[in-house]
Amino acid sequence: MTDLSPLGAPDRLELGEGIRWSDGRLVCVDILTGRLLTPDGDATAPLRTLARLDVPLGAVAPVAGRAGTWIAAAGTGICLLTPGTAPEWLADPEPAAPTGMRMNDGCADPHGRFWAGSMAYDGTPDAGSLYRTGPDGTVTRVLDGITVPNGPAFDRDGTTMYLADSARGLVRRYSVDPRDGALGVGEEFTRVTEGSPDGMTVDAEGALWTAVWGAGEVRRYLPDGTLATVLRLPVTQPAGVCLGGDDGRTLYVTTARVGLAAPGPLDGAVFRARVEVPGLRTAAYRSTAPHRSTAA
């Protein structure tokens, strides 16, 4: 593994997450500012804003067959996001919750479904849920009782899902029925005692990479749960990870400044490092529903 280096050197994100390598480029979000970002030019160029919402933007996944369109976990719901146009809202499942909620991390699985979690702004225990968006645009709550859901991440064939409940320091592993996305009973995969597991991705050997918020680390766990690699960062709050680049062997890491009384010079930067095992291709959401256009 090579040393870490920052991208978009002038930029520092408040809460950088949702990082993806898709269609030959890197994208990430700054959740609380509602921005979808991409590096432009060399590593010293600022990050370019692809889209900006007036609600928090938790994560995106590309939409198959609609170049430049993303499915997004945003605000208190799920929408289709095409830069320069109003979002197409598919569902808004959290607006009447007893405490203020927002969507958090999410991704598509290899079968074309989109999964995303919700959480309370104030971290109310067990207030969060995990939602699955099917190809027809139907959004279904599949898990509840989660405080801060992060991930999920899927293996190559989409029959295993990893999901972090960050506030509990816990990553669970679930079996996934490829036909309808039904989840099996979750089992503990690993527990983090220093810091919290955050964004995750699975590599070509089936190992799980996870950012560890508060510990300044990215960790790689083998499929049996053995800790194989610890990458230390010069920041406090790593938040999102992905594997990409031309050969899939570049690890990208987003970080955050939010909540730090005295952020360091690199807190909030996006980092990259070379690794030995490539990542999996970023899955796309495969929609079968007709396009809809609604106001933001």
Which residues have C-beta within 8 Å of that of residue 212, sequence separation ≥ 6?
192, 194, 195, 196, 197, 198, 218, 219, 238
Nearest to 148 by CA among 119, 189, 176, 178: 119
Nearest to 31 by CA among 132, 131, 106: 106
- Mark whether 165 is an active-site residue: no
Of 165, 198, 203, 267, which one is the catalytic site residue? Answer: 198
Q: Are 130 and 142 in contact (CB under 8 A)?
A: yes
Phi, then psi, of 167 in degrees rounded to 5: -65, -25
175-181 own/partner pairs: CB under 8 Å, 24+ apart: 176/109, 178/111, 181/109, 181/111, 181/113, 181/132, 181/134, 181/142
Which residues have C-beta within 8 Å of that of residue 31, sequence separation ≥ 6?
14, 15, 16, 17, 18, 56, 57, 58, 102, 104
- Residues with catalytic function: 198
